[in-house]
Amino acid sequence: MSATYISTARLSAATFAGRLAGTASRLTRRGSGASIRGKVMLRIDPRALSKLLAGKRVAIVSGTNGKTTTTHFLASALRESLGPDAGRLVHNAEGANLHHGLASALSEQPEADIAILESDERVVGDMIKLGHPEVLVLLNFSRDQLDRHHEIKSLGRSWRTALAQAGPAGPVVVANADEPLVVWAALAAENVIWVDTAATWTQDSSLCPECDAKLVRIQPDSALGQDSDWFCTGCGLARPKGDYRVESGTIVDRAHQVWDPQLSVPGVFNISNAACALAAAELMGVDPRTALIGMRKVTSPAGRFATTQFGNTTARLVLAKNPAGWAEALPLAQSQTVILAIDSAAADGRDVSWLWDVEYERLAGRSVIATGRRAQDLAVRLRYAEVDYRCIPDLAEALAGHPEPVDVIATYTPFQRLRRMGRV
């Protein structure tokens, strides 16, 4: 009994100290306070994260792109089904998804018994071990911040190993069947629900993760009635058949029921994210109708797709972190003037070579404003794309004086600054 008492006391002390540090950080305007709060907590009680997760029903969402929005979908689906008991649910809604951020979010609502958490790709293995999640959603893998993560395959391997070690006690995995590396990792789990997401980004998976032979990719073609497909030319690895499917903007569930998602966030990729969230919600006991009612209430998860005012300018904010994300974001930008904000702080990746993997040529005919600390790199890229642009490195200046609504696509650091400036 005394051991339990000491353990609980230590967690309480850690939570208290963390809260002080977080408040100090917020008051001094250094940040949201979430990360520092978690850091202090884990310093005082290294086992804080596993203690906070103990006894909860846990769902984890990870992947390179879409994890914040998907986690919001899933949390909102569950809240809808909980109704007046929605306070039982804790969710790291702001997207702080490393150990510190997760501990911080959980400590904010210690009484919650359901945790819906997005987790950085590097933390998935630990979360499987510490949190014993009942559901794990694995969305996609693409190159991102290569100055830090040198090989995406090693991340996939870490997921696969953790799932194999968890064995029958491991989570049911909801996995994107269109992503070879996700499939390879998920196959180590005892139970997998496959989602055919109709994803089109294939540039980051040309070799088989199992045997390194060439993968054959078949692009979806609606005119030919052709679904996307992939298979390995060397071993038996191939796209599993989807239990859930995204089909012409609808979601087909396990029972072959077709749902029109009618989401409040734009983009076909968000229908794919919603399909994964729907599968996860059903695993957690929410019927699809209720789940979708909840998911439609998600409008601007952690500021993504938020429309806000910057002085007299109305702007919609879109986050894009890597070539796969930009391929999704660029078609969303419909305004005549488009503002693109680029930085290379640690959270953006210090190397901006990826600018050359983004098809900025699509913006020909529009007037583009290049902004952010790496605006000049973008300016050169736009020059070679023969797109008209103005280079205005200062964000506030770039946003000022647009009579028509503008779409803004930003990498992580300027996106967070814009959220603060636009109060979203």
In the complex, the residues that contact another protein under the rule CB under 8 A are 143, 146-147, 150-151, 153, 203, 206-207, 212, 214, 350-357, 376-377, 379-381, 383-386, 391
Token pair 């499939």 in the structure block, residue: 183
Which region holds residue 267: left if phi is over 0, alpha if psi is between -120 and 50, else beta?
left
Q: Quote the least distance from Cβ 360 to another protein, whole Å.
A: 10
Find all residues with CB under 8 Å of 403, minimum gap 6, and list them. Answer: 312
Q: How many CA atoms lie within 13 A of 112 on its CB side?
A: 24
Helix (H) or strand (E) holding 245: strand 244-247
Q: Quote the least distance from Cβ 206 to another protein, whole Å.
A: 4
Q: Give CA–CA dist 344/349, Å, rounded.
A: 5
Which residue, 11 or 398, has its beta carbon nearer to another protein?
A: 398
Q: Give CA–CA dist 382/177, Å, rounded.
A: 35
Q: Quote the least distance from Cβ 154 to another protein, whole Å.
A: 9
Which residue, 129 or 214, has its beta carbon nearer to another protein?
A: 214
Strand partners, 97: none
The token pair that represents 240 in the structure block: 């599993």
Q: Quote the least distance from Cβ 178 to another protein, whole Å.
A: 16
Q: Quote the least distance from Cβ 294 to another protein, whole Å.
A: 39
Which residue, 260 or 394, has its beta carbon nearer to another protein?
A: 394
Strand partners, 407: 316, 338
Q: Quote the least distance from Cβ 343 to another protein, whole Å.
A: 13
Which residue, 206 or 264, has its beta carbon nearer to another protein?
A: 206
Which residue, 306 or 375, has its beta carbon nearer to another protein?
A: 375
Task: Report the candidate in 361, 354, 362 with the shortest Cα–Cα distance to residue 204.
Answer: 354
Token pair 């390995």 in the structure block, residue: 232
Which residue, 30 or 383, has its beta carbon nearer to another protein?
A: 383
Q: Quote the least distance from Cβ 333 to another protein, whole Å.
A: 21
Helix axis angle, 288-295 to 268-283, nearest 10°: 130
Q: Give CA–CA dist 41/104, Å, rounded.
A: 8
Q: Give CA–CA dist 307/317, Å, rounded.
A: 6
The answer to whether the beta carbons of residues 66 and 140 sit under 8 Å apart is: yes
Which residue, 206 or 222, has its beta carbon nearer to another protein?
A: 206
Helix axis angle, 99-108 to 34-44, nearest 10°: 90
Start-to-end CA span in the chain (Å): 46
Q: Quote the least distance from Cβ 199 to another protein, whole Å.
A: 16
